Amino acid sequence: MIEHGPLLERLLAGQSICAVTDEEAFRRLQDEVTREELNHYLRPLNRRIAQSQDGTVFFLAYQELTTEARENLSREFKQTIQSLLPLLEWMQLVQECLGRDSALSAGDTIKLQEFLLKTEDNQSLRLRLGQLASDRYFKSASDNLDTQLKLIFKRLKENGYLFQPHKDRQFYVVTGKIEQLIELVRFIKDEESLPLEQESEQESLF
């Protein structure tokens, strides 16, 4: 189990593991025997290895929904809901700016400079990006488009939605964590209780 120590620490810290962020760790988690070993260790902690429906990302889930687990999930859910609208708006902007036909998925690449060029000559997109950057999730106080965009991408990288392979290049790869976000939205929709004021604007994403 010592060999899996660093991986367990990352999972217990709330990290998501996908082929984009850590191909070796992702490959290990794809092995059923390894998952069984990890689950055996995690069971006393009421945790288990879970994965997204499309299999692109692994993360920890509760083994049993105890009272404590439900309370923790409720807090996590409220925090996620607060970031949901700005994240969905960002996905919508990427889709429109870069001419994508479908929602972002793990492995998609985004060049910040290309995004900037597509946005700066479009007044509507500039306005929406400015509003997005000033959202409390991104917390930008700048009126400069380049600064706003870099802050947005930095925040998304910090929260695990984007991976930057080279620190000196503004080139990003979408991680599997985006699939967790999309599954959450679909779950809320299935429950017919989506707490989003702008649901209709994001409908095409899903």
pLDDT digits (tens, 9 = 90+) for 78-91: 777 778 889 999 99
Residue-by-residue DSSP string for the chain: -GGGHHHHHHHHTT--EETTT-HHHHHHHHSHHHHHHHHHHHGGGTEEEEE-TTSSEEEEEESS--HHHHHHHHHHHHHHHHHHHHHHHHHHHHHHHTT-SS---TT-EEEHHHHHHHHHT-HHHHHHHHHHHTSTTT------HHHHHHHHHHHHHHTTSEE-S-TTS-EEEE-THHHHHHHHHHHHHHTT----TTHHHHGGG-
- The pLDDT of residue 47 is 95
Full-model pTM: 0.82
Could you say which residues of the chain have pLDDT below 50? 192, 194, 196-206
- Residue-wise pLDDT for 160-201, tens only, equals 999 999 988 999 999 999 998 888 777 766 654 545 444 434
